[in-house]
């Protein structure tokens, strides 16, 4: 019995070294789940079955779920559009000009693109704080230019500004949220 | 009547749940009823304890002391409980105007009060650990309440770093449990002189002290404090800087009384001195109002640590008294700074001008706070700083270093006071609630400055035989102000490159953990020197 | 069994958190340190001839049940802190665009 426990502990040390030195985030989550399961076995061999129950339920089932949910939410790019013409059309033959631009942009950073169409213009002040929107697309009717409004603090906006440099029909606007409210 | 400690803990928690469940505007007035109830109960309990002191400790559930959780009230905890209830009342008066309809904010505020009152009374080591973690989690939620970029990243830094510190406390507690078999502080204190093996006791002490160092922002591990206190809403900043950082010092007093080691007192004295100097140096180079006040918190905690870690009785009481005074005037300054920021919409000290003409009443209260923190006579800062210095008078080198710290504080606040002069076109927007809150705090500052003998006898049961208000100390104060003014005009007004570099210095998360490991390592080396 | 091997897991966790540049890896290393501490505590409370502390078995000689009760509380506290830190990291990503500590704190917005 003691030999099995010592072997499991050495295996735990090996898994922890590979967690610290790995570079991919999905691998780290899988290793963490197996680490938790093996440590639950070890708690049982140390004559503490109630701790083993708690560790299996929390560390092996719920914690990897939290990690995978949050990692998948960190790969999204949420766009809310206030225009209703075919700038963002996603049909099979022809895609709108804006859609091609955004697709090029998100492929570079390996993000997933979500577009919401909100025809009525909701209140824009403070919307970056209330919800997780990354980009807002508006259209100026008189001059026929498209405004892409994003946050100044995000470093992804720099790449987007670089992509629309040659096109003078689209302008990238960076909004700075002031921090002085109490 | 003897179960009042339990009522003190559970009344805020239950009323916070009622406020959250109902979500109506009328029920939000329950916060004031709660505060009034708690203060009445506390006064009754205090008079009851003075007559029969054998009811001062109760165990939950009626179990034996060695296996149950005990709640004990001694001299220190009663003083802290009064301070806690007072400051919480003032903060709730201040922020009630804006948060009348916000049930979530009031829920977290009252819950934090219940958890904090439980931390001050418990006598059990593992209960202390659980309550420290609960306070960390709820303060993080209150810090990120504004939900903008600064607050969220400061909150994450605060949460992760404090949790790592608390795990070291858990390691120290494991060692103590394996030697003694019980977790009650009184029982361990009674038997600790029977242990022969000094090495293990020193190891447990070092691990616990590293956690306390993280919690109360001592020298190498203070970098979370300016970010968190600068990004929080103003009322929460006042609460954090006034009380929750002091909870680390309260736990340190308890652990010090538990272990009774003489080898580390000089180490913490030197550490307190470095905290004070580094706090002043960083505060002189900042331009944001809240960051200046946050760095001053670090330096005042250094002064408190210098007072608490000596063997002289008078200096120890000076340190304790400075905890209470610092809570009062730092909350006053933070609440006043919040009102200034709301009127002017900018946060830099060099651009705000003309506060005295736009908000005359508020600026009088802020001037009271500034005079208290620099140590003017007739205000409460003078009393506690003179008590600390009185025990150190024999060693002239340390007295001279203390003088330098006072000069630094004075210089920084002369720079801060430039906001009062000049003209401005804005109209002051201060409501009645906030003015009442600041008024009560300044009255408390002045009262504690004039009648400190009365408080010493009544609360701490100590006679203070020293005469403090003599000509020598008053002359010292005026010389400090004059030298500070000269320093400000010559050096600080021109923004040299050194100060720019210090202002933009930033220590990342990995380096802070590295500093924590270094801190533990220096304590281990110091203990080798003494063993 | 062997408390020294549990102590090595704690040291690996501390090394990991001192050299991690990504936010998610810091949170994972915090979980590592926590699990190492719990293993250490249970290893110190183990004895060969004791029985599992459940009512119904032989009650004369049991392993100490207090560490087990304390450690269940610690596991729950650790999971709460991890959950809160992950929510904050999602918000940081939508604000700043990347999740490296240096990039997040160098931005001015």
Residues C75, A54: C-beta atoms closer than 8 Å: yes
Residues 87-126, chain A, touching C (beta carbon < 8 A): none
pLDDT tens per residue, range A17-63: 999 999 888 899 999 999 999 999 999 998 899 999 999 999 999 99
Query: Which chains, if any, share at least 3 CB pairs under 8 A with chain A?
Result: B, C
Q: What DSSP element (H or E) covers B531?
A: none
Contact (CB<8Å) C89/B171:
no
Mean pLDDT confidence for A93-100: 68
Could you identify the residue written with the tokens 């300054």? B333
Please list, in sequence order, all residues whose beta carbon lies within 8 angstroms of the beta carbon of residue B425, skipping any fewer than 6 positions away.
Answer: none
Describe the strand order of the beta sheet including A170-175 as a list of residue ranges: A112-117, A76-81, A135-140, A145-151, A170-175
Highest mean pLDDT (candidates B56-65, B159-168, B424-433): B159-168
Residue contact B148–A129, C-beta within 8 A = yes
Exposed/middle/buried for A176, CB within 10 Å: 0-12, 13-18, 19+? exposed
- C-alpha distances in Å from residue B182, one per residue of A109, B157, B199, B200, C73: 56, 34, 20, 16, 18
3-state secondary structure of B285: coil
Average pLDDT, chain B: 88
pLDDT at A88: 65
Q: Give Cα separations from B40 to B1, B44, B57, B147, B328 (angstroms).
A: 13, 6, 20, 37, 21
What is the mean pLDDT of the segment spanning B422-439?
84
**Alpha-carbon dihedral B230, B231, B233, B238, rounded to 10 degrees:** -30
- Hey, is A58 helix, strand or coil? helix
Q: Is B60 exposed, middle or buried (0-12, 13-18, 19+ CB in 10 A)?
A: middle
Confidence category of residue C36, pLDDT binned at 50, 70, 90: very high
Of A90-94, B443-447, B500-504, C103-107, minimum mean pLDDT range: A90-94
- Its domain, for residue C72, covers 3-106
Helix, coil or strand: residue B409: helix
Distance, in Å, from the CA atom of C30 to the CA atom of C34, rounded to the nearest integer, reads 6
- In angstroms, rounded to a whole number, what is the distance separating the alpha carbons of residues B238 and B337? 10
Chain C residue with minimal CA distance to A66? C83
pLDDT digits (tens, 9 = 90+) for B336-350: 999 888 888 888 888
Nearest to A155 among C25, C89, C98 (CB): C98
Beta pairing partners, C55: C57
Cβ of C18 within 8 Å of Cβ of B514? The answer is yes
CATH of the domain at C57: 1.10.287.3510
pLDDT at B52 over 70: yes
Would you call A179 and B341 a contact, using CB atoms and an 8 Å cutoff?
Answer: no
Q: How far is B254 from chain C (nearest CA, A)?
A: 21
CB contact under 8 A, B338 and A182: yes
* pLDDT at residue C3 tops 60: yes
Tokens of B56: 């001062």
Residue A27 structure tokens: 């691998």
Question: What CATH number is given for A76-175 in this structure?
Answer: 3.40.190
Residue C13 CB coordination number (10 Å): 25
Which residues does chain C have within 8 Å of residue A47's beta carbon, measured at their own beta carbons? 46, 50-52, 63
Lowest mean pLDDT among A85-94, A159-168, B72-81, B507-516: A85-94
CB atoms near residue B252 (< 10 Å): 22
Q: How many pairs of residues across B and C have Cβ atoms under 8 Å apart? A: 82
Which distant-in-sequence residues (6+ apart) come within 8 Å of C71 by Cβ? A48, A51, C38, C41, C42
Give the pairing type, strands A145-151 and A135-140. Answer: antiparallel
- As a whole number of angstroms, the distance between CA B39 and CA B45 comes to 10
**Within 13 A of A74's CA, how many CA atoms are on the CB side?**
23
Q: Is A83 helix (H, G, I), strand (E, B) or coil?
A: coil
ipTM of the modeled complex: 0.94
**CA nearest neighbour of B330 among B282, B366, B280:** B366
CA–CA–CA angle B384, B385, B387 (5° rounding) = 65
Q: Which residues of B touch A131 (CB under 8 A)?
A: none
Query: Which candidate in B509, B514, B516, B518 is best for mutational testing of the C interface (most C CBs within 10 A)?
Result: B509
Q: What's the rounded Cα separation, in Å, for the pair B360 and B446?
A: 19
Which among B523, B329, B317 is positioned nearest to B409, based on CA atoms?
A: B329
Closest-CA residue in chain C for A36? C35
Query: Do residue B164 and residue C33 have CB atoms under 8 angstroms apart?
Result: yes
Q: At residue A125, does pLDDT exceed 70?
A: no
Q: Among A168-172, B9-13, B75-79, where is mean pLDDT lowest?
A: A168-172
Query: Which residues have CB under 8 Å from A75's CB, separation 6+?
Result: A110, A111, A112
Report which secondary-structure segment, H or E, holds B56.
none
Contact list, C90 vs chain A (CB under 8 Å):
70, 73-74, 132
Domain boundaries, chain A: 2-72, 76-175
Pairwise CB contact (< 8 Å): C73 & B159: no
Helix (H, G, I), strand (E, B) or coil at B394: coil
Structurally, chain C folds into a number of domains equal to 1
State residue B349's pLDDT score.
86
Residue with more model confidence, B475 or A40: A40
Q: Are B237 and B282 in contact (CB under 8 A)?
A: no
């Amino acid at each position: 019995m003691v030999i099995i426990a010592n072997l499991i502990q050495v295996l735990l040390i090996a898994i922890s070294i590979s967690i610290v030195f790995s570079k991919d985030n999905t691998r780290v989550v899988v290793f963490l789940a197996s680490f938790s399961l093996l440590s639950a076995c070890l708690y049982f061999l140390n004559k503490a079955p109630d701790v083993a129950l708690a560790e299996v339920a929390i560390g092996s089932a719920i914690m990897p779920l939290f990690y995978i949910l949050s990692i998948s939410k960190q790969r999204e790019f949420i766009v809310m559009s206030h225009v209703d013409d075919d700038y963002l059309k996603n049909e099979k033959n022809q895609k709108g000009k804006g859609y091609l631009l955004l697709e090029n942009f998100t492929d570079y950073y390996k993000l997933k693109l979500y577009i919401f169409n909100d025809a009525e213009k909701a209140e824009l002040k403070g919307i970056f704080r209330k919800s997780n929107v990354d980009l807002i697309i508006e259209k100026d009717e008189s001059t026929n230019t498209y405004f892409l409004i994003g946050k100044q603090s995000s470093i992804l906006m720099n790449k987007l500004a670089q992509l629309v440099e040659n096109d003078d029909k689209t302008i990238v606007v960076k909004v700075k949220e002031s921090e002085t409210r109490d | 009547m003897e179960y009042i400690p339990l009522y003190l803990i559970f009344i805020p928690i239950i009323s916070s749940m009622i406020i959250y469940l109902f979500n109506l505007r009328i029920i939000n007035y329950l916060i004031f009823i709660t505060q009034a109830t708690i203060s009445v109960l506390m006064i009754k309990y205090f008079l009851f304890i003075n007559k029969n002191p054998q009811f001062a400790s109760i165990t939950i559930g009626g179990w034996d002391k060695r296996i149950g959780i005990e709640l004990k009230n001694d001299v220190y905890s009663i003083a802290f409980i009064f301070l806690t209830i007072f400051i919480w009342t003032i903060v709730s008066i201040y922020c009630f105007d804006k948060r009348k309809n916000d049930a979530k904010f009031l829920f977290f505020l009252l819950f934090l009060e219940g958890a904090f009152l439980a931390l001050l009374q418990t006598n059990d080591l593992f209960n202390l650990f659980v309550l420290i973690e609960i306070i960390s989690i709820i303060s993080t939620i209150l810090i990120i309440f504004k939900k903008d970029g600064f607050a969220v990243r400061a909150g994450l830094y605060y949460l992760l770093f404090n949790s790592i510190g608390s795990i070291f406390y858990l390691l120290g507690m494991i060692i103590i449990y394996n030697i003694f078999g019980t977790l009650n502080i009184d029982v361990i204190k009674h038997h600790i002189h029977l242990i022969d093996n000094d090495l293990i006791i020193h190891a447990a002490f070092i691990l616990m002290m590293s956690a306390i160092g993280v919690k109360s922002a001592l020298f190498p591990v203070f970098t979370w404090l300016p970010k968190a206190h600068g990004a929080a809403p103003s009322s929460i900043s006042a609460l954090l800087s006034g009380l929750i950082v002091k909870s680390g010092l309260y736990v340190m007093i308890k652990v010090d009384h538990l272990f009774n080691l003489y080898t580390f007192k000089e180490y913490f004295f030197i550490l307190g001195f470095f905290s004070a100097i580094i706090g002043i140096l960083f505060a002189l180079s900042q331009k944001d109002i809240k960051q200046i006040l946050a760095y001053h918190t670090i330096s005042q905690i250094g002064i408190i640590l210098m007072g608490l870690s000596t063997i002289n009785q008078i200096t120890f009481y000076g340190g304790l008294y400075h905890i209470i005074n610092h809570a009062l005037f730092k909350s006053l300054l933070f609440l006043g700074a919040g009102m200034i920021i709301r009127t002017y919409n900018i946060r830099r000290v060099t651009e705000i001008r003309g506060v005295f003409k736009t908000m005359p009443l508020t600026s009088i209260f802020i001037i009271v706070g500034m005079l208290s923190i620099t140590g003017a006579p007739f205000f409460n800062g003078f009393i506690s700083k003179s008590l600390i210095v009185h025990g150190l008078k024999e060693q002239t080198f340390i007295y001279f270093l203390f003088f330098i710290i006072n000069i630094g504080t004075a210089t920084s606040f002369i720079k801060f006071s430039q906001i009062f002069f000049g003209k401005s076109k804005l109209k002051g927007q201060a409501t009645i609630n906030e003015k009442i809150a600041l008024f009560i705090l300044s009255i408390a500052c002045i009262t504690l400055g004039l009648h400190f003998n009365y408080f010493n006898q009544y609360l701490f049961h100590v006679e203070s035989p020293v005469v403090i208000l003599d000509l020598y100390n008053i002359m010292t104060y005026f010389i400090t102000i004059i030298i500070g003014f000269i320093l400000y005009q010559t050096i600080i007004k021109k923004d040299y490159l050194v100060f720019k570099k210090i202002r933009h210095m930033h220590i990342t998360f990995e380096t802070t953990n590295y500093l924590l490991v270094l801190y533990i390592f220096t304590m281990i080396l110091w203990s080798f020197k003494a063993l | 069994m062997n408390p020294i091997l549990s102590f090595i897991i704690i040291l690996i966790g501390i090394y990991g958190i001192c050299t991690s540049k990504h936010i998610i890896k810091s949170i994972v290393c915090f979980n590592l340190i926590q699990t190492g501490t719990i293993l250490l505590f249970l290893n110190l409370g183990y004895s060969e001839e004791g029985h599992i502390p459940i009512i119904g078995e032989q009650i004369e000689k049991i392993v100490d049940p207090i560490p087990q009760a304390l450690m269940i509380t610690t596991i729950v506290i650790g999971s709460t802190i991890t959950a809160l830190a992950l929510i904050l990291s999602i918000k940081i990503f939508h604000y700043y665009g990347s999740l490296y500590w240096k990039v997040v704190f160098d931005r001015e917005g």
